[in-house]
Structure formats: C-alpha cells, structure tokens
Amino acid sequence: MASSQSSASTLSEAVLLPCAYSEQQLLDEMLGGRDHAWVEFHNRYARLIFRCITKVTGRFSTVVSAEDVQEIYATLILQLLSNDMHKLRSYDPQRGNRLGTWIGMLAINASYDHLRAARREPNRGSLVEAEEMTSDIMDPFAEVDRKQREQIVADLLESFSEKDRLFVALYFDQGLDAEEVALRMKISVKTVYSKKHKIRARLEKLLQRDLLAA
C-alpha cells in the first residue's frame, strides 16, 4: 500500500501541468501540436493580447467595434498557425525578448495592419490617419503573405459552400479589392465586407473548436 502511494506521488510530481510550463516548455508543446498547450497559451496571454490591441484601437473607439478587436485577435492566432507555425518557430529568446513581450509586439502590429485595411472600407472615413500610421515597435518578422493566409484556412474551408470558398480565393488569396470581388461574384460591395467579417468569425469559431477539443 505504501509502495503504491509512493509510486502515485512520484508520478504526480513527474507530470507537469501546463500552467507550470516555462515559456520555452509552452512554446515547445505548442510547436508539437499539443492542444492543451494552445489552451494554456490562450489562458496565459489572451488578456495581454487584448490589452495591446485595445491600446492601438482605443483612439478610434467611435468606429472600431468589439467585433474588430475579436477579428484582430483571431487574425493574430491564424498568423501564428500559418505555414507550419513558421512565425512561432521564428521566436528567438536570445534576442532578449520574453515570449509575452514578443506576442504583445505582434498584437500591436496586427492592430495597425487592421486599421490600415479598415481605412479602405466604406463608412470608415474617420480612420484616415490610420493610413499613415506606423507602430513604434519594429516587427522583427516579415508579414505573412497572401498565400500563407490561404494555407491557414485551407483545411478549415472544407465545410464551406463553393461560393464562400470562391470568395476566400478572390479576396484573401488573390488579394482583389472589394469592388473587383463584387463584380466577379455579382454581389454588392457592402455584401463583400459583410461576407468577409462573417467568414472570419466562422473560421475563428472552427479554430477555437479544434484547439479546445479534447
């Protein structure tokens, strides 16, 4: 009996809970595709990411909604998963930044990218200064290009309609502007922007479902 209790105690000590991971251990588990590590990542850094996003978007609170903030968060996570997690693999603690600091920088840059894109949407005229905006924190990594973005969502698009997949190919992969997409798909420009937000929201839900599935 004592031996059994001793073995159980030894085993419990050997099993490291995700909340006790060091930054490097967490990163290694995430790169290994462990779902529990991604859940811990969200638990550990979600508040930081949202704080960095709202620090940038707060200046435009009259035109930037809570949905925009959620969209920026989802886009950042998709970027981290892109191209076999290339950006995540690029993190180098030897450069002097903690993982949390580095994630915060990515969130800030993703926010500026979103504001610049929003500047081109109808009814976003008050975001004109975002066109000239630059982050005061340099991003040490190249932005994810259009093909990488397409790779992120390719496996998640199987359940989408043929029309939605065409929209993703035109808008996200080929990078056509809203007017051109509207012309090719025979829909209004307003519908293009509406569809863009709906597709991103659906992708976010699918991604969260996969990450939290146990």
Digit-coded pLDDT (tens) for 112-161: 888 887 766 555 444 444 444 444 444 433 343 344 444 555 667 777 88
Indicate if 162 and 208 belong to the same structural domain.
yes
Indicate if 126 and 25 belong to the same structural domain.
yes
Query: Which of 96, 126, 142 corresponds to the end of one domain?
Result: 142
Indicate if 209 and 156 belong to the same structural domain.
yes
- Quote the domain boundaries for residue 81: 21-142
The answer to whether position 5 is within a domain reads no
How many residues in the chain?
214
Indicate if 124 and 208 belong to the same structural domain.
no
The answer to whether position 6 is within a domain reads no
DSSP 166: H
Coil, strand or helix at 77: helix
Query: Which of 142, 173, 192 corresponds to the end of one domain?
Result: 142
The 10s digit of each residue's pLDDT in 52-85 is 898 888 887 777 788 888 889 988 988 888 888 8
Query: Which of 142, 174, 204 corresponds to the end of one domain?
Result: 142
Indicate if 118 and 149 belong to the same structural domain.
no
The answer to whether position 9 is within a domain reads no
Instruction: Report angle CA 98, 89, 157 to the nearest 5 degrees.
Output: 120
Whether pTM > 0.75 for this model: the answer is no
Indicate if 136 and 151 belong to the same structural domain.
no
Q: Is residue 125 a contact partner of residue 50, using CB atoms and an 8 Å limit?
A: no
DSSP 58: G
- The number of folded domains in the chain is 2
Query: In 10 A of CB 42, how many CB atoms?
Result: 15
Fill in the amino acid letter for 41: F
Give pLDDT, residue 50: 92
Output the domain CATH number for residue 196.
1.10.10.10
Indicate if 136 and 149 belong to the same structural domain.
no
Which tokens is 203 given?
């992708």
Indicate if 211 and 115 belong to the same structural domain.
no
